[in-house]
Amino acid sequence: MPRVPEEVPVFVQLPRHQRVRRRGLRAIRVDSPYSSQELSGLRIAAPEDVLLACARDLGVLDLAVVLDGALRAGVPRERIEAAAAAGRGGACALRAALARADPRAESPWETMLRIQHRVFDVPVVPQHRVEHEGVFVARADLWIAGTRTLQEYDGAVHRSRGQHRLDLDRERRLSAAGWVRNGFTERDLIRRPAIVLRSADRALGRETDLQRLAPWFDLLHDSGLTEVGRGRLRDRWASPRLENGRSAARNTGQKCQE
């Protein structure tokens, strides 16, 4: 799940004819064609309804995390495509997000790193398998296509002593096979993206144009990764929601009429 403000309201989905008012509760009123499920006695909306609801409110980066997670959890892409083709609120944003989605991402930060590279116009392949002379060497978060450079996110798990030893062994194997591995942290992606951009440009043999950072900062500031983005979500959830659950298209990189 993406980062969201701490004071998230409770969301419920109801048929349009039903009404409920309760402090801290946000009702999405829509006549859904999808069947709900029951989990531990609680009725849960269908994945299509959940994704459409998320697409109405979340920015591009946050929605990408949710969608990658849904695909990885086994929600069929065909079902999501059908929901995104419908005329309901959030469908346009969901279509745009689906074009960028990839179930191979194994963490939210891998999703962020992949999208960041594509915003920088860097061709990458997720979960690339590296082999040398027919022997498996490593599997990497991202491979910059056409190069021998790997870009990876290094989270807190890599700080433990045991994992650190494994990481050093892995890096020695990659180096012996002629590969370069660049590791990045949360701070790099959010506060120092120029480091990521320069490493990719170096691998591609091209000059770094810092203007390519601007689209990434636009996405970042609209996400829950920044206080500005979290404030936008708080304001959105504090305002009245339209009865039919439809809202204006936002931040999809294309014009949509909903």
pTM to 2 decimals?
0.86
Question: 255 in a domain, yes or no?
Answer: no
Question: 234 in a domain, yes or no?
Answer: no
118 in the same domain as 35: no
191 in the same domain as 120: yes
CB neighbours of residue 233 within 10 Å: 22
What is the per-residue pLDDT across 8-30, written as a single tens digit (0 to 9) for each?
Answer: 888 999 888 888 888 888 888 88
146 in the same domain as 73: no
What is the per-residue pLDDT across 126-179, written as a single tens digit (0 to 9) for each?
Answer: 999 999 999 999 999 999 999 999 999 997 555 666 677 888 898 999 999 999
For 188, residues 6+ apart whose C-beta sits below 8 A from its C-beta are 195, 196
209 in the same domain as 113: yes
Question: 124 in a domain, yes or no?
Answer: yes
Select from 103, 128, 162 the last residue of a domain: 103
Q: Which residues of 89-105 are buried (b: 16+ CB within 10 A; e: fewer)?
A: bbbbbbbbbbebbbbeb
113 in the same domain as 209: yes
CA gap 53, 11 in Å, rounded: 9
CB of 112 closer than 8 Å to CB of 189: yes
Q: How many domains does the chain have?
A: 2
36 in the same domain as 95: yes
Q: What is the mean pLDDT of each run of 10 residues along the chain (258 residues)?
A: 84 87 85 90 93 94 96 96 91 94 94 97 97 94 97 75 79 94 95 97 97 96 92 84 46 47
Per-residue HEC secondary structure of 39-84 comes to: ECCEEECCHHHHHHHHHHHCCHHHHHHHHHHHHHCCCCHHHHHHHH
Residue 37 is part of which domain span?
A: 10-103
Question: 164 in a domain, yes or no?
Answer: yes
194 in the same domain as 121: yes
Tokens 């064609």 identify what position?
A: 33
CB of 10 closer than 8 Å to CB of 25: yes
